[in-house]
């Protein structure tokens, strides 16, 4: 069936994809190793890990899990680390052993970690020593029987390894004291596993590959059950964005991986797609250290970079970023949150490259829609549904929206999860006859491009008028003195809700009146923020997504206290 948005697809690109090329992720991995054995798969802190070495070390890791820990097919193994070479080794080792990966944010509090380990039933965890003290506090309340412990520099050459581990522990003091007496080291695991026999499991497309937990920004974190088939389909769908960029796979290209690989966007679009395409991934362990990050960028002539709005914004605000070599940059992809127009324009002016926006959610592996790479100017849309994806836009009365009418986006496709882990009621709320209700309000315009107007729950209603926070934030960010901004709705006796904006200044001379005057120029009266608060920083997830919920809860609590 020809869908109307196909006319927006780049000339010559696929309108349908065949994801049956691989039965499972192991097939995909094996093919990449066969085709590029001596090519660098990952580089971290200057250390190269070739596809061949990645195969050898992940096989040793898998053999250890099978033979020493005797883990059974389908058991869950948690991974708790930032972007280090150990991550892909452990990730592919877990998958090659027929086990299920549970990605854990290493910055989790003990309460958050305990919830995820208990909920997933993980029996094994791979953790970096920097976060071992968090694990120590909760491990006895979980099903975890085996702890594999690694240090930051463990996959580096001997001299560099010794130096990095010494500096991290004794100079920067980034390793709080911990006691995990039964833990085995990552290096021991590889050493022992190397001499054990690895048995390749027979894995089907519907077998579980990941329990990927939703960020917890919408209540309790739930594990989205993503199968090998879900992820393979989405890898091919993600490849569609990059078709003109991909070209000849014999040519060596590199990509910057600053987003944490435990996050679904980076996991599929970076870790797995780039393995499939034979692209060298340069792992950035701490992208929050912008000076260090830019210093690393200056060492490479990279072809691709992915990020979120806050990351692109932070790079653009670093003086040294202008010295980076952008001559080979062909693909910049933004996801996780809307890219503000001001950020997109500055990026284009500096790099000569357009940020392609993608849209997705954990429950969809994650990609749902994207701007084709042929889009040469940021236009604020999320583009069109990727191949093999059906959508419908549902209005509040249950009917389907027409062009230009807002409604909730529903999605159907091979990338849609099997459901939430052990949560049938939560699954039934969002999965209806194979359709996934996203909770996002969208409009499809006359050119069949989708525009996010906001999440259902983030909608601000001022005197009966709908106000979408993204629009307010985009306008505020157009002021060159603003570094970051976020808008929320707060209770108001007269209008029901009023708009409050939290702003981080780029220029200290910025005043609240300036922001109000600026907003009055660009927004109709009821959309102009009534309250403005300056902050030194805004609460964010580790991926850099601003947490509106946290700010809203703080405001509601503050108002309740004032009334008492």
SS3 call for 40: strand
Q: Are 282 and 415 members of one domain?
A: yes
Considering the domain boundaries, does residue 393 fall inside one? yes
437 & 480 share domain: no
Percentage above 90 pLDDT, the chain: 71
Task: Return the pLDDT at 122.
Answer: 98
Strand partners, 367: 360
Q: Over the range 228-259, which residues count as b (16 or more CB within 10 Å of their CB) and which as e? A: bbbbbbbbbbbbbbbbebbeeeeeebbbbbbb
Whether residues 394 and 532 share a domain: the answer is no
Give the count of domains, the chain: 2
DSSP 233-281: HHHHHHHHHTHHHH--TTS--EEEE-S-TTSHHIIIIIIIHHHHHTPEE
What digits encode the pLDDT tens for the residues 125-142? 999 999 999 999 999 999
Same domain, 400 and 476: no
* 110 located within any domain: yes
DSSP 161-187: HHHHHHIIIIIS--------TT-EEHH
Residue 509, in any domain of the structure: yes
Residue range 169-197, pLDDT digits in tens: 999 999 999 999 999 999 999 999 999 99
Determine the Cα–Cα distance for residues 471 and 449; give it in Å rounded to an integer.
18
Same domain, 235 and 303: yes
The closest of 500, 545, 497, 538 to 519, measured between CA atoms, is 500
Angle at 147 between CA 141 and CA 153, to 5 degrees: 135
Q: What pLDDT does residue 216 have? A: 46
Structure tokens that stand for 226 in this block: 């993503």
Say whether both 225 and 315 belong to one domain. yes
Q: Is residue 402 part of a domain?
A: yes
Q: Which of 168-182, 207-221, 328-342, 477-491 has the lowest mean pLDDT?
A: 207-221
Do both 290 and 426 map to the same domain?
A: yes
Q: Which residues contact 89 (CB under 8 A, 6 or more apart)?
A: 49, 54, 57, 58, 61, 155, 190
528 in the same domain as 409 = no
Averaged pLDDT of the chain: 91
How far apart CA 420 and CA 436 sit, in angstroms, is 12
Q: Look up the CATH number of the domain holding residue 199.
A: 3.40.50.12780
Q: List all residues 6 or more positions away from 347 whose beta carbon is below 8 Å from its beta carbon.
A: 312, 316, 332, 353, 354, 355
Question: Does residue 320 share a domain with residue 216?
Answer: yes
Helix and strand counts by DSSP (H, E) for the chain? 18, 26
HSE (side-chain half, CA atoms, 13 Å) at 299: 14
Token digits of residue 464:
């009966």
Q: What is the pLDDT of residue 246?
A: 63
Q: Looking at residue 376, what is its pLDDT?
A: 65
- pLDDT tens digits, residue range 246-292? 655 567 789 999 999 998 999 998 899 999 999 999 999 999 899 99
Residues with Cβ within 8 Å of 120's Cβ and at least 6 positions away in sequence, in order, are 76, 78, 102, 211, 213, 223, 421
Q: What is the model's pLDDT at position 524?
A: 80
Cβ neighbours of residue 74 under 8 Å, at least 6 residues apart? 98, 99, 100, 207, 208
Task: Determine, yes or no, domain membership for 450.
Answer: no
pLDDT for residue 244: 61
- Domain range for 502 is 460-563
What's the full length of the chain, in residues? 564
d(CA 182, CA 124): 12
**Domain match, 90 and 140 both:** yes
Instruction: Write the CATH number for 491.
Output: 3.30.300.30
Exposed/middle/buried for residue 102 (C-beta within 10 Å: 0-12, 13-18, 19+): buried
Residues 494 and 509: their CA atoms lie apart, in Å, by 33
The C-alpha atoms of residue 134 and residue 87 are separated, in whole angstroms, by 19
Residue 449 domain-assigned (yes or no) = no
pTM exceeding 0.75? yes
Higher pLDDT, 10 or 507: 507
Residue given tokens 């939703």 in the structure block = 214
Q: Is the same domain home to 436 and 499?
A: no
For residues 187 and 56, membership in a common domain is answered with: yes
Whether 10 maps to a domain, the answer reads no
Structure tokens at 75: 């058991």
Position 6 in a domain: no
């Amino acid at each position: 069936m020809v869908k109307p948005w196909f006319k927006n697809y780049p000339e010559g690109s696929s309108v349908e994809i065949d994801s049956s090329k691989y039965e499972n992720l192991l097939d995909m991995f094996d093919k990449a190793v066969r085709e590029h054995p001596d090519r660098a798969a990952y580089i971290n802190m200057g250390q190269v890990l070739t596809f061949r070495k990645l195969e050898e070390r992940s096989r040793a890791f898998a053999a250890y899990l099978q033979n020493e820990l005797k883990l059974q097919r389908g058991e869950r193994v948690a991974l708790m680390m930032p972007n280090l070479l150990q991550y892909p080794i452990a990730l592919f080792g877990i998958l090659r052993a027929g086990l299920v990966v549970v990605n854990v944010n290493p910055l989790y509090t003990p309460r958050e970690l305990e919830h995820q380990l208990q909920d997933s039933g993980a029996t094994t965890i791979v953790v970096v020593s920097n976060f071992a003290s968090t694990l120590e506090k909760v491990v006895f309340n979980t099903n975890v029987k085996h702890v594999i412990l690694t240090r930051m520099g463990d996959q580096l050459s001997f001299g560099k390894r010794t130096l990095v581990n010494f500096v991290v522990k004794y100079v920067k003091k980034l390793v709080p004291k911990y006691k995990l007496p039964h833990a085995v080291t990552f290096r021991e695991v590889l050493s022992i596993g190397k001499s054990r026999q690895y048995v390749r499991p027979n894995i089907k497309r519907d077998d579980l590959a990941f329990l990927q937990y939703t960020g917890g920004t919408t209540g309790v974190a739930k594990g989205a059950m993503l199968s090998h088939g879900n992820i393979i389909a989405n890898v091919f769908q993600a490849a569609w964005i990059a078709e003109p960029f991909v070209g000849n796979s014999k040519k060596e290209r590199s990509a910057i991986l600053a987003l944490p690989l435990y996050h679904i966007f980076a996991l599929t679009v970076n870790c797995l797609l780039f393995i499939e395409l034979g692209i060298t991934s340069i792992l950035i362990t701490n992208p929050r250290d912008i000076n260090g990050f830019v210093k690393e960028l200056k060492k490479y002539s990279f072809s691709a970079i992915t990020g979120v709005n806050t990351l692109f914004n932070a790079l653009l605000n670093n003086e040294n970023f202008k010295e980076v070599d952008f001559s080979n940059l062909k693909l910049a992809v933004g996801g996780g949150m809307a890219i503000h127009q001001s950020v997109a324009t500055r990026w284009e002016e500096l790099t000569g490259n357009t940020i392609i926006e993608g849209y997705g959610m954990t429950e969809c592996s994650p990609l749902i829609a994207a701007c084709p790479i042929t889009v040469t100017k940021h236009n604020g849309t999320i583009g069109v549904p990727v191949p093999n994806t059906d959508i419908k836009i549902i209005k509040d009365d249950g009917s389907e929206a027409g062009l230009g009418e807002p409604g909730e986006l529903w999605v159907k496709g091979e990338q849609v999860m099997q459901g939430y882990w052990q949560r049938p009621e939560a699954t039934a709320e969002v999965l209806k006859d194979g359709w996934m209700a996203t909770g996002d309000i969208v409009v499809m315009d006359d050119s069949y491009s989708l525009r996010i107007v906001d999440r259902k729950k983030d909608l601000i209603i001022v005197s009966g008028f709908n106000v979408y926070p993204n629009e307010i934030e985009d306008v505020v960010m157009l002021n060159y003195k603003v570094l970051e901004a976020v808008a929320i709705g707060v209770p108001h006796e007269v209008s029901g809700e009023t708009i409050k904006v939290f702003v981080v200044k780029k220029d200290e001379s910025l005043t609240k009146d300036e922001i109000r005057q600026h907003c009055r120029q660009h927004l109709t009266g009821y959309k102009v923020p009534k309250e403005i608060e300056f902050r030194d920083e805004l609460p964010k997830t580790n991926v850099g997504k601003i947490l509106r919920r946290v700010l809203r809860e703080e405001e509601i609590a503050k108002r309740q206290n004032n009334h008492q």
